[in-house]
Amino acid sequence: MKKLVAANWKMYKNRTEAAQCVLDLIPLLKHIPADREVALFAPFTVLGSCSDVINSKGADNRLFLGGQDVYPASEGAFTGEISPEMLADCGCRFVLTGHSERRHVLGESSEFVGRKTAFALEKGLDVVLCIGETLEQREAGQLESVLAEQIGGGTADVPAGIEAARLSFAYEPVWAIGTGKVAGESEILEAHLLVRRLIEKKFGAKASEMRILYGGSVKPDNAGKIIGLDNVDGLLVGGASLQAESFSKIALA
Ligand code: PGA
């Protein structure tokens, strides 16, 4: 299994800034190990510019693009939404579903996240399904039940026969996102093992081939340690992914 190090640019960067960041990143990622992949989840408006740079520099087998969200339909009267086919047309291989900001700021349910996940996979995108508990839920002892609900709903319509490499999970404790509070080693180990067990329930033996990324205040100085932990198959990086230099250090950590 190749580890996946992914940048989540959220709602940052205009086209010029995004293209420059990709230009800066490409030489820095030249020596990425063969067992690692790098993805950029960029705002919809900059995907085309990023894709042009990646193609012109011949980095298309080293650096992959992804959308930060998707709607579960190919086209139609869905103002403001975007389809998997549109993302693919802009050069995307990946899409994120269920990011905590979409669940908690935009009110998305696990059922809706599940429809997006299944539809995007059906239309050929590889999906990184995000899950994670709030501090309140953790303190109330609900870690397992929250992850079970998010994974159950998020994968409800995904065929059990899906190719393992096409569906990854990102465990991102909500209290560690953008707060500088990285989860401790034992918390990451516990949660990732739980996620592995929960996906085994649905996908059986192939769950061992599905990537489980960690996200939440990952920085160049903690990335190496986290990515080396059991059941950690990659990283999803927000704030520290906005600068090419810091993100490349994380990707190579
Ligand atoms: P952060 O964000 O690295 O800034 O904590 C991670 C994410 O939201 O994916």
**pLDDT tens digits, 102-136:** 999 999 999 999 999 999 999 999 999 999 999 99
- In angstroms, the CA 227 to CA 38 distance is 14
- In angstroms, the CA 244 to CA 74 distance is 33
- Residue 186 burial (CB count, 10 A): 9
For 170: left if phi > 0, alpha if psi spans -120 to 50, otherwise beta; the answer is beta
Is 192 tagged catalytic? no
Which residue's alpha carbon is at the smallest distance from atom 1 of ligand 1?
A: 238
pLDDT at 43: 98
pLDDT at 166: 98
Closest CA to 70 of 97, 107, 104: 97
pLDDT at 62: 82
pLDDT in tens, 126-165: 999 999 999 999 999 999 999 999 999 999 999 999 999 9
Residue 180's pLDDT band, with cuts at 50, 70 and 90, is confident
Which residue's alpha carbon is at the smallest distance from atom 3 of ligand 1?
A: 238
Burial class (CB within 10 angstroms; exposed 0-12, middle 13-18, buried 19+) of 150 = buried
The tokens describing 155, both together, are 């994968």
* Residue in 37, 101, 108, 172 annotated catalytic: 172
* Residue in 37, 99, 108, 133 annotated catalytic: 99
Q: Is 16 helix (H, G, I), strand (E, B) or coil?
A: helix
Ligand 1 neighbours by CB, cut-off 6 Å? 8, 172, 177-178, 215-218, 236-240
Q: What is the 76 CA–ligand 1 centroid distance (Å)?
A: 32
C-alpha R_g of the chain: 17
The mean predicted confidence, pLDDT, of the chain is: 96
Is 190 tagged catalytic? no
Q: Is 5 helix (H, G, I), strand (E, B) or coil?
A: strand
pLDDT of residue 177 exceeding 90, the answer is no
pLDDT at 56: 95
pLDDT at 137: 95
Q: What is the 77 CA–ligand 1 centroid distance (Å)?
A: 32
String of b and e for 152-174 (b: at least 16 CB within 10 Å)?
ebbbebbeeebebebbbbbbbbb
pLDDT in tens, 202-239: 999 999 999 999 999 999 999 999 999 999 999 999 99
Residue reference for tokens 């996200």: 215
Evaluated on CA atoms 119, 122, 126, 128, the torsion sign reads positive
pLDDT of residue 178 exceeding 90, the answer is no
pLDDT in tens, 15-67: 999 999 999 999 999 999 999 999 999 999 999 999 999 999 988 788 999 99
- How much is the average pLDDT of 167-180? 93
DSSP 242: S
